[in-house]
Every structure is written in C-alpha cells, then in structure tokens.
Structure 1
C-alpha cells in the first residue's frame, strides 16, 4: 500500500471524540467513489483534490466520508411542492441550478443520504431573507464580480458572463468571501413555450383562488362567487373580461347547468357555462354555475392552485398569474397573505418558477384572522451577500441532529429553511495512480455508508473518480491493498459496495462489478454469473403524436456495466443470450382525464424495427390532472437477434408527452 498520510496531504485534524466508535469485525469494508467526473488528472494534483473534497465534508471526517451537510429543518423543492428529507425519494423531480447557464432546471434525485444525530460544529447564517445551518465544508454555487478579460470573458477560471461580468464559482460555508453572492432565484429553463390555456383562463384562475368563495352545500345548484370591492371598478372590468373570454357573455337570471368551457375540453365546445353579475353592498359579485365553477376548481381545488397547473404556464402567463394574485390579495407591495399555508406555498412555488425570490413567514393571529396568516413576500432580487452585517449574523454553533444532502446531476438544489429560499450545493481516497490518502483511518466510525449499522460496522474506502472516469489498474491495486490492510487490522474479511447498504449508484457500475467479483488482481470484474446493470433516465421530454407509438429515448445514463445501452438511445442490445429483469417508472402528461395510454416492454428484431412481441404491456387511465404515472416491470430473454425497448402507445387523437423524469433499471443475467 502506497500511503499518503494526513500530514503529508494537509488534512485537518480530527476533532470529534464521538468518531471513535467502530466494530469492523462485524462488517468489513465498503467501497465508494467520489461521484463527480474528475478526468485525467496528474498525481501532483491529487493532494489538492483530496483537500478540496475534505472541505465538502464535516470537519473531522476523512477521505471516505461524503458531505451530507444541511440540517433536518432544511427542505427541498420538488415538482409537487416542498418536502422534508424524510419524504424525499430517489427519482423525485427537484429544482436545481445549472451553474454554467444560471438557469433553474428540474432534475431527478440520484440519491438521498441522511446521517444520524451526533455532536457537530456547524455554521448558522441568519438574517432578513436567509436562514441556513450547514457544516463548515458545505458547498455553495456562488457568483462573484470579475474583472473583464479580452473578448468579454470573466476572470480567470470562470465562464464568460456577458450580461453582468460575473464569475460563477464554488465556495464552502467557511470560505464564503465578501465578494461572493449566493443565488436565491433563477428563471426556470423548463417552462413551456406554447400555452396550454388562454391568458383569460390563467387570469381567471388567479382571481378565483384569491377572491373566490365556495358556497357550502355542494350539489348541482352550488355557487362559486368571485368578489371584488366596488371601489375597485378596474378590477371588476378585468374579472368581467376574463369571464367573457373563457365562458362567453353573461347569462341573466339564474345560471343554467351546461358543460364545456376551457377546462372541460376547450373553448366553444359543448356550450359555454354561464355566469352572472350583481352588486352586493360594496362588492361586485360574479356568480358562476356549478359547472363553470368546477372548471376553475379543477386547477385550484379548495382555492389552492395545483402545482402541475403552475408548471405548465408559460413565463408570460406565470407573471400574469403572479401580478393578478398580488393585485387581488392587496396585502401590500410584493406581499400576499393567506390563512391557508398550502395556498401560500402554491403562490411561492409560482414565484420561484418565474425566477423571483419568494419568502414565506407566519403572521401572528389578529382579530380579523384568529388563526394567523401565511405571508409570501416576492422580490426581484436574485442574489444574497452572505456576510456579517446589521441584521445578518454568521456564527459557528454546536449542533446535535441529523444532517442530510441529496445528490443531483447539476450538483445543486433549491433549499428552504424557515421560509427563506436559496440554491445550494451537494457533494458526492484512493487516486487513479494507486496512492491511498489517509482519512479517518483505524478505529474511527465512518459516516459514509448510509445506515447506523453500516457506519458502525464497516470501514469505507473511496475511489477518487466519478461517472465517466476510467477505472485504472493502479487504482484497483491501491483499493485492493487498502482493503487487505484494513482486514489485517481487524476488519471482517468482507467487502461490498455503497449500493449494498442503501439505494444509490455508488460506487459506479464498473467499480461495483469489480468489487462483486472479489477484487480480482487482474482487474477483470466480469464473472460468468455477474448481471449487467443499466440505470437510465429519459432526460428530455418526448412527444408521442396522436395514434402513434414511440420508443422512449434514454438520454441520461447512470449505469451501463455491460455497455448494453444501444447506440440508437432507445434499445437494450446484448452480445449473448441474457435474461432481462426490467422495471420502469413512466410519467406522461397532457392526457385527457379518463383517457388511456399503453406502455409496453417490447422485443424487436435486432436489425429492423419489426416487433417480435410485447411480453409485458400495461394500459393506464389518466387521472383528473391529466397525468399518467405507472410502474411497469417485465422479464424476458434478449440475444444477438432480439433487442428490447420501452414503448408508449398513444391511441388518442391528440399528442401526449413522456416526461424527462421517466426512469428504467434493467438487470441482464447470463443464461
């Protein structure tokens, strides 16, 4: 073993007495990888890389640990709203920041890692518009004013920012400088360009959820009213115009019961639901029939806008929705107040998608609002200066509680703590040259394996590589010698991969295959009975035309241990007879409620598109929100003449969209 000691690579000292707690005689050694692609780095860079990695981890942890370093009070924004780490799952779609483009993007969670309560030193940043509690080595995407270079580029090491001359860099909590700015808002790159609904309908939903009243009693005769003070005739004109645009002219007298309208199949189909107008004291009252009210309530049930409705608005429609909601609520400039937390959070969600900073606070009860209110404050600020100032404190604190972090392709995620919102980072050592960098080392409890028993009973060894990096023979030899050394010092004679403890892609397909094969000295991890593993994600939305069948294209590849993902992007193609055990999570939108879409694991001829059979096919009915979410498994044989695909069969007379979060995992066993 070629050992580089902590002193030699410049490690920080271990400070936590609680770290000395391990019983490796029960477990063994677990293999990890760093996770981020590092490329063909030279050995003189290795100490610097290891020091940088250590900065991403809790003080006192060594090279084998991973930085799960936000406290349990910190939430993450998913496609369906805010979630605590306990409710987050691998594959959930969350909002991330592309730190190259500066735009927000929806991406799947690759891994959710949680570590139990213990004594830790953390850094608290608290002030107007921000609350975070992270480890000192927690990583942040930051923007920093840079000097212009020739040709309009930023400072050395940063990408060009033609618009504002900012360098996009990374910093840790304890290295944040006075020039660093943390992104707290970013326009979403995934908003649709073409509208699904008319602007009139979007504005009407905004008036409905803020000023609407649901008359109790239900039934076909139930009313939905939209009210506005008579002292605001301009608002009444806007409501009147929106109603006319969606439902047609008003009907005098009692509303009729008719169907149709924009929310029930499009404008002008099947008759238009009626509405009428009256003056009630100091208010304009716009009363809708039960059917007309149902059209609006479908997008804002119980006066809470649906997240999937908001996600499908164009950028201009989002601003229309936000501006109308603020105008209707009339809680002050840039403020919206609701008694319902769910309603306030939905509005905060809309503002975030529009690229605005939006914080959520609780108002104390008053005479008018005995239960208090939730206030959303919207600002056009996009950056925060995280430095001590009047009203903003930065201090080190002792903390005993769980810490956690998700892993995403962009290595970032949108966080919320105590109502304040900001983008933050996530992180993922034997180097590729075969040198072992001393970490926590002998007798110290790890925190990298993801479970209490795993951390208590197993040492951890981390390969300095990530997805897409080549596993070198020197690295394998270094890992093997390190594992054998740990075995000789009392660890049980067993080795496994991080994915054997929790659901994760770590330590990557090639390295895991080698570990499962028993770490052969020749570096060949292929065993006769070793399954090939594919883990794939669509990565892009894909349209399926009316009356058409399309194969799902897999644009993101997390694992492909046997190189069985076909060059066409859709196929699973093997070089010998293998039994495929498949599982896919398919998400499809733009399906009319009650309509069907079929999903099928399909076998096709290897050199043609001719279908051999559909061994596993599933027919799914869309729910009230027009979405299909289905899990489809399958088992079948593939060989040199037959390839496999996941296909979507759309028998409807309109197009549907397979969402980019669609996932597939396939194990291919040699027959």
Structure 2
C-alpha cells in the first residue's frame, strides 16, 4: 500500500489537517505533474489501514534538513524529468516510489515548486489593506484598556533610524487610508528613533475583525488574489524576516498559529518551508523558505524505521501530488493509484 504515517498532515482551505480531520469531498492543495499548476483538488477517497512492522515490514524515514517524511515502500513521489532538465524544457514530472529510490542517490525528487493557481480572481480586500495586515501582524499591537471595556484602535510602529525605507512604506499606507477618510496618524518619533502610528477605531475595528488576536486566518489567505498573496508574503518578510545570503527567505516568529498560516501562504505560492528552533533565542522559531524545488534521493538520508500505527493516503482519481507537512517541513508527495471499480 502507498501511504504515510499518522503524523503527516495535509493542507486544506481551512488550514492544516490530520488524516482524521479530512474525508472524501474535502479539498486539499495539489500539484498537477503535467502542467505543474497548484490548485485545490477534491478528495475522492482517503485510504487508511493499520501498519505493523513485525508483519508488514519497516517504513522508510527521510532525514533531509527540509523534508522529514515517513512512508511505506509503495508511496509515490514526483521525480524531475532528467531529459527535460538537460534540454531546458518543461516536461511533465515522472513518478517513482520510496522502494524504487532505495540505493539510488542521484534521483532528483520534486519537493516544492509549481505555478500558483489556487487563488481566486477577485478579493473583498484592497491591496493596501492586505499590505497593512502584514505590517499589523509583524509590527502592530492591539492596545487594551486598563479597566473594563474594549478599544478598537490599533497601533503600529517602525524605526526611522534603523529602517527608514520601511517607515516610509507605513507613511505611504497612512496617506492612502487618510485619503479614504480613515484615521491613520503619525505620532512624534521617540528618542530611540521609533515612529508610532495610531490607527483609529474606524479602520482599527476592521483590522481586529480580520485578524483576531493578530492571527492570520486560513480563510483570509484563501480569499486573496495571487498578487495580494505576494504582497502579504513580502510584508510579512519585511516585518519579521530577512533574506538569506544564498537565496530564500527567513520568517522569524514565536507564535505557532502565525507560523502555520505563513507555511500555508508560502505553500500556496509554491514555496516549500521548514520550521526550526532558533538556537540563538529560546522560544523563537525560524521558518526557512527554500528556493530549490528539488533534492537528490541521497540527500534524504533514508533509514528503515519500525512503525506500529495508521498509514494513510489520498486518492483523487488521477495521478496527482498533494501537499504534506511532517515535523514542520512541507513537501509534495504522490496520491494513491485509483482503486478499481467493483464489477457492475
């Protein structure tokens, strides 16, 4: 049987889900190996069975720095078309299995990438509002009254001294929303160089409703257009991330809910990610966004591992890859072959 272990999750429009939380008819993020487009695909069936290594044999564990997979020998994987890679054309990906990769170190497995096509053509939000949401998540706060009651205003700040370009971005947004009739005022710069911005209750209430507890709801991500998703991604990186010298981005965060949402956003944009503990700061996590879409089979450092538990697999009706997440690493893996129909 093709399958992955019970710790492997998948991505739905409502966020990350375990196999117990999905069923036929639900949609998961998928990659078509022919045209390499990323889209939501309806599940035809979810296969589950108990696996016991004493009778079924061990599973294969991959220990790649960006892929932590545990799968059965028959699990399908996308393989980069070598002829297409050499000729520089865009041939469809090939298929291989965990068992077929044993002893082969130079097969290039497709872990990420694809053309983002899961976003709608229109959105209920403006581009400026989406950009502002990214800054609120990373640099904003929701003030609370000392006593009973509630406030709706929002504050966001940036250092003029350290990040003058980013401060100017917030000024541009403030100008835009003031032209729309909202309260978005710049206050006096602090001695430290930090420039605070006050967003009034008129716009603040909408921000708080859209980002409850400064969390980025999966439904919000799914409602953005592609260009807005790119705007949001970039503002999140500008606010709480940086660019790696060798390419790719880092997103630094302490809140697991925001990490989950960022990994969802990145996956829909075609980026594979891995969450790692940042040794320099306790309780802080660094999410690495990888620029390479594939890795060699040898780099997965495969080992045999005994396993006693559920293995599961998605069936779509035709060869398709679906997005998996295990041990906070995201990657494409293959769906089960279509089950034969019972005789009529």
**Shift of the alpha carbon at 1:331?**
5.1
Q: Retained in 1: the 8 A contact 2:50–2:308?
A: no
- Give me the whole-angstrom Cα distance separating, in 1, the residues matched to 2:131 and 2:174: 9
Find 2:41's aligned residue among 81, 103, 107: 107
- Give me the whole-angstrom Cα distance separating, in 1, the residues matched to 2:275 and 2:26: 23
Which one has more relative contact order, counting CA pairs under 8 Å at least 6 apart?
2
The 3 A distance-change label for structure 1 pair 320 and 222 is closer
- Give me the whole-angstrom Cα distance separating, in 2, the residues matched to 1:374 and 1:400: 31
Q: Match of 2:197? A: 286
Question: Which deviates further from its counterpart, 232-241 or 175-184?
Answer: 175-184
Q: Structure 1: 5+ residue runs without aligned partners?
A: 1-56, 58-66, 149-153, 155-161, 250-267, 429-463, 467-506, 515-671
- Give me the whole-angstrom Cα distance separating, in 1, the residues matched to 2:207 and 2:151: 16
The 3 A distance-change label for structure 1 pair 328 and 423 is same
Check if 1:199 corresponds to 2:127. Answer: yes
The 3 A distance-change label for structure 1 pair 220 and 396 is closer
**Shift of the alpha carbon at 1:147?**
6.2
Q: Match of 1:403? A: 311
Q: CA RMSD in A?
A: 2.5
Q: Match of 1:432? A: none
Q: Match of 1:227? A: 157
- Give me the whole-angstrom Cα distance separating, in 1, the residues matched to 2:243 and 2:33: 34
Q: Match of 2:324? A: 415
How many residues matched?
A: 328
Find 1:341's aligned residue among 224, 231, 256: 256
- Give me the whole-angstrom Cα distance separating, in 2, the residues matched to 1:146 and 1:323: 35
**Shift of the alpha carbon at 1:221?**
4.1
Q: Retained in 2: the 8 A contact 1:144–1:169?
A: yes
Q: Retained in 1: the 8 A contact 2:144–2:151?
A: no
Q: Match of 1:275? A: 184
Q: Retained in 2: the 8 A contact 1:415–1:423?
A: yes
Check if 1:172 corresponds to 2:83. Answer: no
Check if 1:211 corresponds to 2:139. Answer: yes
Greater share of helix residues, 1 or 2?
2
Find 2:269's aligned residue among 327, 342, 354: 354
Find 2:213's aligned residue among 299, 302, 309: 302
Question: Which deviates further from its counterpart, 340-349 or 350-359?
Answer: 350-359
- Give me the whole-angstrom Cα distance separating, in 1, the residues matched to 2:190 and 2:151: 20
Q: Retained in 1: the 8 A contact 2:5–2:70?
A: yes
Q: Match of 2:28? A: 94
Check if 1:141 corresponds to 2:71. Answer: no
Q: Once the two structures are superposed, what CA deviation does each residue of 1:44-68 show, in whole Å capped at 9, x if it has no partner?
A: xxxxxxxxxxxxx2xxxxxxxxx3x
**Shift of the alpha carbon at 1:90?**
2.2
Q: Retained in 2: the 8 A contact 1:145–1:167?
A: no
**Shift of the alpha carbon at 1:70?**
0.4
**Shift of the alpha carbon at 1:223?**
3.1
Question: Which deviates further from its counterpart, 187-196 or 235-244?
Answer: 187-196
Q: Which runs of 4+ in 1 moved over 6 A?
A: none
Q: Retained in 2: the 8 A contact 1:210–1:325?
A: yes
Q: Structure 2: 5+ residue runs without aligned partners?
A: none
Q: Once the two structures are superposed, what CA deviation does each residue of 1:512-549 show, in whole Å capped at 9, x if it has no partner?
A: xx4xxxxxxxxxxxxxxxxxxxxxxxxxxxxxxxxxxx
Q: Retained in 2: the 8 A contact 1:143–1:183?
A: no
Q: Retained in 2: the 8 A contact 1:200–1:243?
A: no
The 3 A distance-change label for structure 1 pair 311 and 163 is farther
Q: Match of 2:237? A: 326
**Shift of the alpha carbon at 1:194?**
4.1
Q: Retained in 1: the 8 A contact 2:29–2:323?
A: yes
The 3 A distance-change label for structure 1 pair 227 and 87 is same
- Give me the whole-angstrom Cα distance separating, in 2, the residues matched to 1:185 and 1:92: 23
Find 2:334's aligned residue among 387, 402, 425: 425
The 3 A distance-change label for structure 1 pair 286 and 136 is same
Q: Retained in 2: the 8 A contact 1:144–1:181?
A: no
Greater C-alpha Rg: 1
- Give me the whole-angstrom Cα distance separating, in 2, the residues matched to 1:301 and 1:140: 38
Please, what TM-score do these two structures have when normalized by structure 1?
0.46
Q: Once the two structures are superposed, what CA deviation does each residue of 1:434-481 show, in whole Å capped at 9, x if it has no partner?
A: xxxxxxxxxxxxxxxxxxxxxxxxxxxxxx974xxxxxxxxxxxxxxx
- Give me the whole-angstrom Cα distance separating, in 2, the residues matched to 1:188 and 1:175: 29
Q: Once the two structures are superposed, what CA deviation does each residue of 1:106-147 show, in whole Å capped at 9, x if it has no partner?
A: 012222222124223211111211111111121112222116
Q: Retained in 1: the 8 A contact 2:77–2:109?
A: no
- Give me the whole-angstrom Cα distance separating, in 2, the residues matched to 1:201 and 1:222: 17
Q: Retained in 1: the 8 A contact 2:250–2:287?
A: yes
Q: Retained in 1: the 8 A contact 2:29–2:268?
A: no
